[in-house]
């Protein structure tokens, strides 16, 4: 994988951490998955699984955005620049901590770790439920990149299974998001604070 492509994927991921608009974030992760699918042209099974997953998830999430218009933007407790800073620091820390993973290129390894870090930071710092789902998708995109960069090629069966599972999880998350929106009038996970010990 070329360095430019890895950096492009990382930049799309960082965008999800910092942008405010949900639809833009959905477009970023969908675009990221489609770029991954295109880069997997040597493995048609894996590429097809990734492309279908990207489109299905993208359409599903955009539909949800249109069905659950927020009366006002859900504000995260952490400012966008801070979120971006956290994400970059965690990505650098992971790159420093995790030794060579045995993927086809070091650029790809760094890209995988960065996307996982960005996904974790998105889930931890964004309170909008949809952004938390996008954080999980971001992590899975990073893992899809890792699977595609295995020396002996990815297994189409695994790609297909992961794509199916992720779509299933995202669909269930969408059901919850809509119910939470209906119950609380907002898709803000910050409203979910009644269960504490």
Partner 1 sequence: MTSSELLALAAVALPALAAVGSAAAPRRAVGALATGGATLSAVAAGALAVATVGRPGTTAESAWLVVDPAAGILVAVIGAVGLASVVVSPSYLSTVTGGLVRASRIPRLYYGLLFAFWAILTAVPVIGNLGGAWLLVEATTAASALLVGFSGTPRALEAGWKYLILTSLGLGVALLGVVLLAATAGGGLDALSWQALARVPAGGQTVLIAYVLLLAGLAAKIGWAPVHNWLPDAHSEAPAPVSALLSAALLPTVLLVAWRSSRALSPAVGTATAHSVLIGFGLLSLAVAVPFLWRPLPWKRLLAYSSLEHMGVIALGLGFGGPVALAGVVVHIVGHAAAKALGFYAAVPLLSHEPRAGGHAVGGVARSEPALAATMGISLGALAGLPPSPLFLSEVLIVAGGFAAGRPWTAGASALLLSLGFLGMAHALLDTLAGRARHRSQRGRSVGLRTVTILTTVTVLGLLALTAVAFWLPGSDLAHNLAAELP
Residues paired with residue 119 on neighbouring β-strands, in sequence order:
none
Cβ proximity to partner 1: between 16 and 103 the closer is 103
CB 58 within 8 A of CB 27: yes
Cβ proximity to partner 1: between 95 and 155 the closer is 155
* Coil/strand/helix, residue 52: helix
As measured in angstroms, the least distance from the Cβ of 151 to partner 1 is 7
* Coil/strand/helix, residue 154: coil
As measured in angstroms, the least distance from the Cβ of 153 to partner 1 is 6
Torsional sign, CA 178, 181, 187, 189? negative
Q: Could you tell me where the beta strands, DSSP code E, fall in the chain?
A: none
CA distance 112 to 131: 19
Q: According to CB under 8 A, which one of 41, 69, 81, 100 is a site residue for partner 1?
A: 100
Q: According to CB under 8 A, which one of 103, 121, 128, 130 is a site residue for partner 1?
A: 103
Under rule CB under 8 A, residue 134 binds partner 1: no
Q: According to CB under 8 A, which one of 31, 106, 123, 190 is a site residue for partner 1?
A: 123
List the x/- string, 153-172, binding to partner 1 by CB under 8 A: xxx-xx--xx-xx--xx-xx
Under rule CB under 8 A, residue 175 binds partner 1: yes
Q: According to CB under 8 A, which one of 37, 40, 139, 188 is a site residue for partner 1?
A: 139
Under rule CB under 8 A, residue 120 binds partner 1: yes
CA 163 to chain centre: 13
8-state DSSP, 98? S
Q: What angle do CA 155, 140, 192 make, to 5 degrees?
A: 150
CA distance 194 to 180: 13
Q: Using CB under 8 A as the criterion, which residues of the chain lie in contact with partner 1 when the complex forms?
A: 98-103, 112, 116, 119-120, 123, 129, 132-133, 135-136, 139-140, 143, 146-147, 150-155, 157-158, 161-162, 164-165, 168-169, 171-173, 175-176, 179-180, 183-184, 189, 192-195, 197
């Amino acid at each position: 994988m070329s360095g430019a492509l890895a950096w492009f994927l990382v930049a799309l991921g960082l965008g999800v951490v910092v942008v405010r608009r949900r639809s833009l974030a959905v477009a970023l992760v969908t675009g990221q998955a489609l770029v991954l699918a295109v880069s997997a042209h040597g493995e048609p099974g894996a590429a097809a699984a990734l492309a279908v997953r990207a489109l299905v998830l993208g359409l599903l999430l955009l539909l949800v955005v249109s069905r659950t218009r927020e009366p006002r933007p859900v504000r995260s407790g952490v400012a966008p620049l801070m979120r971006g800073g956290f994400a970059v620091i965690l990505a650098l820390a992971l790159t420093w901590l995790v030794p060579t993973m045995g993927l086809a290129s070091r650029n790809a390894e760094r890209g995988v770790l960065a996307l996982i870090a960005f996904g974790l930071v998105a889930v931890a710092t964004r309170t909008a439920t949809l952004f938390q789902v996008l954080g999980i998708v971001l992590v899975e995109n990073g893992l899809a990149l890792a699977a595609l960069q295995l020396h002996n090629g990815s297994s189409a069966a695994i790609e297909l299974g992961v794509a199916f599972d992720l779509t299933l999880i995202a669909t269930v998350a969408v059901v919850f998001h809509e119910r939470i929106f209906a119950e609380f009038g907002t898709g803000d996970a910050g409203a979910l604070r009644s269960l504490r010990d």
